[in-house]
Amino acid sequence: MWLALVARAASAGVVTKGPLSNATITGYGISGGQMGPQIGMTTTDANGKFSMPIGTYAGPVMLQVSGGAYKDEATGSSMGMAAGDVMTAVMPSVVSGANSNGIQVTPVTAMAQVRAQSMTGGMTDTNIAAANAAMGSYVIVNDILHVQPMNPLTTGSGTGASQDARNYGMTLAAMSQYAKTLNMSISSAMVTAMMNDASDGVMDGRKGVSQISMSMGGMMGTSMMSATAGTNGLATAMTDFMGSAANASGVTAADMTVLTQKLAKSNGHI
């Protein structure tokens, strides 16, 4: 998914957890490494598109997306983002009056945002750049803020797509597939769990020393996150999704061997 953040202008963009319609996008300045004042707000259209002016603000920016509805990759169902679930992205300092176009907001950028926030000093330019690069390395995407993920629900979308775009799109689909495997009623809860897992820099089912509790939705209550959810669990889910009827992209398991093997063998360190 991609969006554009602008100053004194409007520019088109898209937010995706599946294209996210009627979602609220809020921009925040960052001060002292922490989320600061609101600098802009807008709503996505039926296709996840939006534009958001940010006035004359200059400095690092955090974007937060909440609400809205999306087509879940693994189930094909329309789902609303659960209350309390958000997706975020952080970008290093923008220049007042300058356009910053093509910025992606995805579950992966959200994982990078919470990682930067948890680093010493918080969301400084240096930490933002390091966290975004580290998450990109983890899922083998060169630039998580600017590469547009392939949509695996679109027929033939893998044809001509870069490997970065394939890796990105299949990583998002794998999170959806993993949620389906666990019978989560709303897959955005998996995004929240993955964000919590990434915050301390190790994908091990824990946030610091505490095991992560995941909301299963409905009457299902909660479940504890597996220690291998973000490593072998994600690799297995990715392979399962690629072999399913939901995958319309044309991308096969053989096309994704490098990433699935990397995740399967990972020690979880971002």
Residues 6+ apart with CB under 8 A from 267: 231
Distance CA 10, CA 204 (A): 41
Instruction: Give the per-residue pLDDT at 116.
Output: 98
Mean residue pLDDT across the chain: 91
Answering whether pTM is above 0.85, one says: yes
- Domain 3-139 fold is Immunoglobulin-like (2.60.40)
Q: What are the start-end ranges of the H helices in 96-209?
A: 107-118, 125-139, 163-181, 188-198
- Which pLDDT band holds residue 219 (cuts at 50, 70, 90)? low
The tokens of 200 are what?
Answer: 């301390």
- DSSP letter assigned to residue 269: B
Kind and range of the H or E element at 239? helix 232-242
pLDDT of residue 18 exceeding 90, the answer is no
Inter-residue contact 44 to 67 (CB < 8 Å):
no
pLDDT in tens, 123-174: 999 999 999 999 999 999 999 999 999 999 999 999 999 999 999 999 999 9
Residue-wise pLDDT tens digits, 42-66: 988 887 777 788 888 999 999 999 9
**What would the two tokens of residue 254 be?**
């053989």
Three-state DSSP at 145 gives coil
Domain boundaries, the chain: 3-139, 163-265
| Tokens coding 256 | 């994704």
Distance CA 46, CA 53 (A): 20
Cβ partners under 8 Å of residue 123, min gap 6: 30, 33, 34, 35, 60, 62, 90, 113, 116, 117
Residue 9 has pLDDT above 80, yes or no: no
Decide if 39 contacts 29 (C-beta within 8 A). yes
Please, are residues 204 and 197 in contact by the beta-carbon 8 Å criterion?
Answer: yes
Most confident of the following: 13-17, 219-223, 230-234? 230-234
84-113, pLDDT tens digit by residue?
Answer: 999 999 999 888 877 777 888 999 999 999
